[in-house]
Structure 1
Amino acid sequence: MTFVLTFILFRSYVLGHLLTAFELYEEKRVRFQTQTLLQVARRLLGKIGDLGQLLRGVMAEARELAKAERCSLFLLDKDTGELVSKVFDGNAVTQRKSSREIRISGHQGIAGHVAQTGKLLNIHNAYQHPLFYKGIDEQTGFKTRNILCFPICDEERVIGVAQLCNKIDGFHFDKCDEETATAFSVYCGISIMHSMVHKRVQKAEARYKLSQELLLFHMKVPDIDVRNCLNSTYLHSAEEKFPTFDTFEFCPRDVDEHSSIYLCIKMFKDLDFIALFKIPEEKLARFLLLVQKGYRNTPYHNWFHAFSVAHFSYVCMKNLRLMERGIITKLQGLSFLISCLCHDLDHRGFNNSYMTQSGSQLARLYSSEGSINERHHLSQAICILNDPGSKILDSLSTEQFMESIDYLRELILATDLANHFRIFKQLKTLNPENIVDNQRMLLSLLMTCCDLNDQIKMWTTVHSVAELVYTEFFAQGDLERQMGLNPNLMMDRKKACIPALQIEFLDTVVTPTFEIFVQIFPEKSDFLQTISINREHWVEVKEKETTKNGSSC
């Protein structure tokens, strides 16, 4: 009887107070969570102009909200279906040690499952869960105990996944953490979506400004200039003036500006591209004149460099009979020659590093993709090829056109030496037996050799080209010093020893590259002999400067 009375009293009075207290606690918790999330949202919106900074902010906030050891954030790549993370965790030290991106299948592991289903997963024991992918732990050395993984969505679909690992002040993530994560994901999705839109707007603005620069800097090609290019008398005169034009020994830098256009037309004719691809000669002439105008008057990266690079591709195709022997196709040959002509279009005389450090419009447009200058050159080439008066690829089928543009992209990007060194080990495997099966790799090598072709010419050419190169380098170094930066040694006119730098350049870049070329085409072993002779000349110059200055250059 006493027990019953006690229970009735408890239910009537104590239980009521307990429920009221619990409701009050829940109300305070929800209010605190809401206030916290609003503060988080305000901080995230402050980072909306920089996607990388925003993503790091998202991870730091999520980690703090849920009291987790680590947070990983993956965005869904629409093109590949992969989950991609460039900033893998919120730990700043780890980020400094490794900035490489991590990619996993959009169907793989816990993150993949959440991306596919759009539903949160709370896993108390990671290694016992069938979806857990150990590969990430193996790559990072991190030991995962428990996981709270939730989707990040925009207005239509899942755009990414956040993964919290290892609860700090508890055994595992609880229901409260799940609620916080669900609410937080809404703010994440809004912030990331707006950041991406902001980035697209920035790119559009940068493209517009670049287009304006291009329009202001370059003029339209007058019709009279086009007609003059097609004058057979002028063409024959140029051919007679340079009878050894189709040999490797010829120095294209000896050609004047006007003759260079006629000789470019000769390249297209000799290689049978005009007849085979039904290129209207008027459009070809206008294309060449536009490309010529597309080069700025920089000391080295100018039209004469482009003409020299194109000439080397021409003599390679003609003298090594690359197309006749089936080593490359005619379409590849056409794309190769066009790439050489266009590979440095609108070069401003500054390297990719300077473009990034100076915060240039080009860097804003292309820095996330790498090869800033090269991507700009490609963009300008495609603009000229799309000009109604210079559409030299108009007669190609849709498939041929797309293939040609694809080669154009690959070959122009191949002129970034960073890309060349990235595939250098693969290039070393090329030989006469396997080049037909590795045409893209071969073309990449040939493009680099074309870009370096000055180094296999006579000493007078090599020496004069070096002067042009360092005039451009030192101008950049002077600007970097004005910006408060320390120029690279080769850019610093006060410290650079040109002969020593050229010897190093020959040893580390030119000789190894042409050794592969000669490995494929042994009949051109004389290239290596010429490089060796030029190296000896630089050694002599270095010794003279050392004697003259009384100290080692």
Structure 2
Amino acid sequence: HSHRHTGKIKRGPLDPSYQDTNMQGVVYELNSYMEQRLDTGGDNKLLLYELCNIIKTATKADGFALYFLGECNNSLCLFTPTGAKDGPPSLIPSGPITFGTTIAAHVAKTRKTLLVEDIMGDERFPDGTGQDSGIHVHSVLCLPILTAIGDLIAILELHRHWGKEPFNLSHQEVTSHLSNISMHHFFFSHRTYFDNIVAIDSLLEHIMIYAKNLVNADRCALFQVDHNNKELYSDLFDIGEEKEGKPVFRKTKEIRFSIDKGIAGQVARTGEVLNIPDAYADPRFNREVDLKTGYTTRNILCMPIVSRGTVIGVVQMVNKLSGSAFTKTDENNFKMFAVFCALALHCANMYHRIRHSECIYRVTMEKLSYHSICTSEEWKTLTQLNLPAPIYKEIETFHFDINPFEEIWPAVFIYMVHNSCGKTSFELEKLCRFTMSVRKNYRRVPYHNWKHAVTVAHCMYAILQKTSEMFTELEKKGLLIACLCHDLDHRGYSNAYLQKFDHPLAALYSTSTMEQHHFSQTVSILQLEGHNIFSNLNSSEYEQVLEIIRKAIIATDLALYFNNHQQLSELLNSGVLDFNNHSHRDRVIGLMMTACDLCSVTKQWPITRLTANDIYAEFWAEGDEMKKIGMQPIPMMDRDKKDEVPQGQVGFYNAVAIPCYTTLSELFPPSSPLLKACK
């Protein structure tokens, strides 16, 4: 590719101001910049502009212009990247692609790089650079930016002002190499290109073809490093075949050899470049390969591919075609190229790791769903269950105690749904399946378990029964389901604990960690076959009900309660609370969720007392975990501070529970028994 840009330039040593070290510095800057940008996606034009900016610095240019093709590919447009404040980047039409106008149009027409020492005195370009600022410009270096297959993408025009040294041939070489590297990076950031070479073999072939052309070698080999087994391996070989003018690589059984062997092995071990003019005169050369292939190796240029400080591969160029051995220039070109290789290999390996992880994840999910779905016996039995007569009356009271009815809790929930939303609100079979699978996905922790889920759902049922006309059918369904699912898959640890110990859940959800997980689990169960109780809704209603459930479950994060309660109290006290205002309504529902979540404090004393034991069992277990690693838990979670429990509970009632039920009874007077029981 590099020849394509440079025309017939003799490859001399680089101008001293572009010493190898400086050059490598620029390449590494380009590389690290690209690695940062690859993740961000975004506008490719802007990305190319930023790359050109790096090339501007490398060539000590005073300015540059970047042109892209216009609508029908027969005109140029100047790219201007305006800042975020001034709106998006723009393309300004700057004339047709033709001879006899500007230097950019000329280069777009010829697709050849052009170096002009004095733009004003050059008759080929009566319009010069075509820009108003052009009066300052003396020397111009203008090059086409082409894709790997030779399509024109853009024109880069570098400027030096009057009074400065004009550009020379070494600058032309530098820009050519850098634009090559840029283009490759650019394509790697361009998803569609990368999608075409996700197969690592195809990617390696691209690398090998490019490398051969770059240094004019007869053959090339690329080995990857297996650090665990201290081996180099490859299964792609260049045996000199060509098809349609392109080299063809033979895919063979993978060969492996020790990292201690041969020239490639030494490069892999030391990370240094080896340029060997006469292979047979070098004791490190491993002659076995020539014996096997019948090929004669004269000279070798071998280069490490380094990613993040580790050698991940070795590229070996064999037999210089033009000349007796590989030159210092070849080495420099090859070094720059190795940086690109590292990025390409890194991308491909990352992609393969992700694919592998995806497969493991799929298998795990499939296993998990098998174990988290209820059996057909379970849900079929549920469809037949009837409740004992005394329940029908008791279930309407706030202080109803579900404890004695553990065997029929699922049936209690089904009854509440039917009584609140109507028997035809859900398909019975799906509702039974869903309920039993939700039960199966609660863990056996002391407090945040299936019993707590049914208790909270009952409290919501009792509130809805007394405020029925205030809520839509969709809200009633959503809130009962949200309550049943609001602690799904709870592990018995607080959000603070998960965040402190960098639990994967905390990495997934940085705020309201467990609550977001509970909602995600709810959606997972709905997506299981035969479990989508909302499948009869249209898509807009389905989205609405999921949003009701999401907001309701997130509201059970007690950390959000204090602000919500304060805002609601202010709305109530100032008399502006409007139940038809969406955000007001969300706040009211949020408070209802807290009231239901804490409803064990509104039961009769013996039940409340026993529930407190369960809560503390969970708290203390978390405290024990913290002590194990030498951290001091908060008093509430410290089992050595049992005597502070009564004080702590009274504090909780005064700070959280009583204000919550007070505001709820102001909103819905029929809910006042909750406040009374709490007091």
Please give the per-residue CA displacement for 1:127-182, whole angstroms capped at 9, x wherever unaligned.
xxxxxxxxxxxxxxxxxxxxxxxxxxxx9xxxxxxxxxxxxxxxxxxxxxxx9xx9
**Is residue 434–residue 532 contact of structure 2 (8 Å, CA) maintained in 1?**
yes
2:454 aligned residue: 307
Matched, 1:397 2:538: yes
Please give the per-residue CA displacement for 1:270-318, whole angstroms capped at 9, x wherever unaligned.
113432x3x2111111111111111111100000000000001101000
1:546 aligned residue: none
Size of the alignment, in residue pairs?
A: 385
Q: Return closer, same or farther for 1:197/1:426 CA change in 2, 3 Å cut-off.
A: farther
**Is residue 564–residue 591 contact of structure 2 (8 Å, CA) maintained in 1?**
no
1:113 aligned residue: 86
- CA distance, structure 1, for counterparts of residue 521 and residue 502 of structure 2: 20
Q: State the one-letter code of the partner of 1:350.
A: Y
Q: Return closer, same or farther for 1:188/1:501 CA change in 2, 3 Å cut-off.
A: farther
Q: State the one-letter code of the partner of 2:395.
A: F
**Is residue 421–residue 477 contact of structure 2 (8 Å, CA) maintained in 1?**
no
- Equivalent runs, 1:320-469 vs 2, <5 Å: 320-321=467-468, 324=469, 327-364=470-507, 366-368=508-510, 370-431=511-572, 434-437=578-581, 438-469=584-615
Q: State the one-letter code of the partner of 1:228.
A: T
Matched, 1:245 2:388: no
1:272 aligned residue: 421
* Seq. identity, %: 28
Q: Return closer, same or farther for 1:37/1:350 CA change in 2, 3 Å cut-off.
A: farther
Please give the per-residue CA displacement for 1:383-402, whole angstroms capped at 9, x wherever unaligned.
21122222211111111111
Task: Determine which structure has the larger strand proportion and give its number.
Answer: 2
Q: State the one-letter code of the partner of 2:386.
A: L
Q: Secondary structure at the match of 1:490?
A: helix
Q: Return closer, same or farther for 1:206/1:415 CA change in 2, 3 Å cut-off.
A: farther
Q: Return closer, same or farther for 1:458/1:430 CA change in 2, 3 Å cut-off.
A: farther
- CA distance, structure 2, for counterparts of residue 397 and residue 317 of structure 1: 24
**Is residue 466–residue 670 contact of structure 2 (8 Å, CA) maintained in 1?**
no
Q: State the one-letter code of the partner of 1:500.
A: Q
Please give the per-residue CA displacement for 1:458-508, whole angstroms capped at 9, x wherever unaligned.
221221111101101111111122233332222221235211221221122
**Is residue 460–residue 596 contact of structure 2 (8 Å, CA) maintained in 1?**
yes
Matched, 1:38 2:28: yes
Q: Return closer, same or farther for 1:505/1:189 CA change in 2, 3 Å cut-off.
A: farther
Q: State the one-letter code of the partner of 1:340.
A: C
- CA distance, structure 2, for counterparts of residue 509 and residue 116 of structure 1: 52
- CA distance, structure 1, for counterparts of residue 352 and residue 374 of structure 2: 37
Return the TM-score normalized by structure 2: 0.49
**Is residue 499–residue 506 contact of structure 2 (8 Å, CA) maintained in 1?**
yes
- CA distance, structure 2, for counterparts of residue 49 and residue 494 of structure 1: 49
- CA distance, structure 2, for counterparts of residue 354 and residue 379 of structure 1: 20
**Is residue 603–residue 677 contact of structure 2 (8 Å, CA) maintained in 1?**
yes
**Is residue 371–residue 416 contact of structure 1 (8 Å, CA) maintained in 2?**
yes
**Is residue 210–residue 361 contact of structure 1 (8 Å, CA) maintained in 2?**
no
Please give the per-residue CA displacement for 1:397-454, whole angstroms capped at 9, x wherever unaligned.
1111111111111111111112223433322235496223332221111111111111
Q: Return closer, same or farther for 1:204/1:319 CA change in 2, 3 Å cut-off.
A: farther
Matched, 1:222 2:375: yes
**Is residue 343–residue 374 contact of structure 1 (8 Å, CA) maintained in 2?**
yes
- CA distance, structure 2, for counterparts of residue 199 and residue 411 of structure 1: 37
**Is residue 362–residue 376 contact of structure 1 (8 Å, CA) maintained in 2?**
yes
- CA distance, structure 2, for counterparts of residue 192 and residue 417 of structure 1: 44
Matched, 1:235 2:225: no
Q: CA deviation at 1:348?
A: 1.0
**Is residue 454–residue 461 contact of structure 1 (8 Å, CA) maintained in 2?**
yes
**Is residue 374–residue 412 contact of structure 1 (8 Å, CA) maintained in 2?**
yes
Please give the per-residue CA displacement for 1:516-545, whole angstroms capped at 9, x wherever unaligned.
21221234334333222xxxxxxxxxxxxx
- CA distance, structure 1, for counterparts of residue 356 and residue 517 of structure 2: 16
Q: Which has the higher contact order (CA 8 A, sep 6+)?
A: 1
Q: Return closer, same or farther for 1:316/1:48 CA change in 2, 3 Å cut-off.
A: same
Q: CA deviation at 1:187?
A: 8.6
- CA distance, structure 2, for counterparts of residue 118 and residue 487 of structure 1: 60
Matched, 1:479 2:625: yes
- CA distance, structure 1, for counterparts of residue 357 and residue 85 of structure 2: 30
The structure with more radius of gyration: 2
- CA distance, structure 1, for counterparts of residue 634 and residue 420 of structure 2: 42
